[in-house]
Structure 1
């Protein structure tokens, strides 16, 4: 029985040596990994500081460009206002011209021929069709 105890102690000692050896190897690997991480963190800090400076410059340039664009756009406001006024004037003139032309056509037609009620309705339908076509044309053209 004493022999078995001695063999058991030897096996436990060998197992402990193997366990301690593998723990030491693991610690070496962990140490190398920690050192590599420290190097990477140092490099990341340097890179972040460079990127930070670049970002600050980009933001500053963007702010300057925004101010420049705003000032240029505000100088164009009068041009857009004038274009809007011209568009409204043309639209009003077109409306008046259409009404005048319609009234003139109806008046001339009535003076030249005494018109029956059905012919008046036909003429009115044609005039309405022309006016609708002009309205659609105006929307298509964006006047």
Structure 2
């Protein structure tokens, strides 16, 4: 029975030694992994610092561009107001032209009969002048001579 006890203690010591060996191997592996993680974290931190710096510069440039765009839009407001004012003026001119056109149209419609009479009288006068000219060719030459100063 003693032998079994010694064998049990020896087996227990062997099992403990094997356990210690594998725990040591695991700890070495964990140490290497943590070292790699540490190096990776250092690289990530350096890259993040670079990205942070670039992002800060980009934000400053974006803010400058936004300020510039705002200033330019403020300057354009006066241009748009001028264009709007010009549009209003053109509308007023168009309205005035429409009013004048309507007035001329209504006046011409009112006086169209009188204009037709004047046209008839004008045609009659031209016909009479032509007939008179044909009948009295000598008197028309002397009238022309007096008017032009050929004598």
Interval containing the TM-score (normalised by the shorter chain): 0.5 to 0.7
Q: CA RMSD in A?
A: 3.3
Kindly name which structure, 1 or 2, has the bigger radius of gyration based on alpha carbons: 2
User: Where does structure 1 lack aligned partners over 5 or more consecutive residues?
Assistant: 102-143
Aligned counterpart, 1:60: 60
Match of 2:27 in 1: 27
Question: Partner residue of 2:11?
Answer: 11
TM superposition score normalised by structure 1: 0.59
Q: What residue number does 1:116 align with? A: none
Q: CA shift at 1:9, angstroms?
A: 0.8
Separation of aligned partners in 1, 2:43 and 2:82: 58
Number of aligned pairs? Answer: 112
Q: Distance in 1 between matches of 2:72 and 2:22?
A: 72
CA distance in 2, matches of 1:4, 1:94: 123
Give the TM-score normalised by the residue count of structure 2. 0.56
Shift of 1:53: 1.5
Whole-Å separation in 1 of the counterparts to 2:26 and 2:56: 44
Cα distance 1:91–1:7, how it changes in 2: closer, same or farther (>3 A)? farther
Matched residues in 2 for 1:50 and 1:31: separation?
29
Structure 1: which 4+ aligned runs deviate by more than 2 Å? 82-98
- CA separation in 2, counterparts of 1:96 and 1:23? 102
- 1:40 counterpart residue number: 40
How far apart, CA to CA, are the structure 2 residues paired with 1:3 and 1:87? Answer: 117
Distance 2:33 2:46 in 1: 20
Q: Which is bigger in relative contact order (C-alpha 8 A, separation at least 6)?
A: 1
Q: Cα offset for 1:94?
A: 7.8
User: What is the rounded CA distance, in whole Å, between the counterparts of 1:67 and 1:8 in structure 2?
Assistant: 84
